Amino acid sequence: MSLVSVLSSAESKIGKRLMTKVLLERVDVEIKRRRTAVNRLQAELEDLEDYLDVLEARRRAAGKGNYAQAEMEKRYRVGR
């Protein structure tokens, strides 16, 4: 092997390592961003569930019952 081919091979390996490192850093950033989004959505879902509990409690306090899920699905033409 000539010195040129050895140096060329070394540069190629170093370049691949650097690209892999950069790619892994980008993937890590994307994972962190998506985890943040998921956490935000989970918090929003919890808030909505709490609000639904409040609405149901108000309805019961007014002397009215809750709607059955099947009744709401039929009423709004939503199916699972």
CA atoms within 13 A on the CB side of 11: 6
Over residues 58-76, the pLDDT tens digits come to 888 888 877 777 888 888 8
44 pLDDT band, cuts 50/70/90, is very high
**Cβ atoms 73, 80 nearer than 8 A:** yes
Locate the domains of the chain by residue range.
3-62
- The DSSP 8-state label assigned to residue 68 in this structure reads P
Q: What is this structure's pTM?
A: 0.56
Q: What is the reported pLDDT for 28?
A: 94
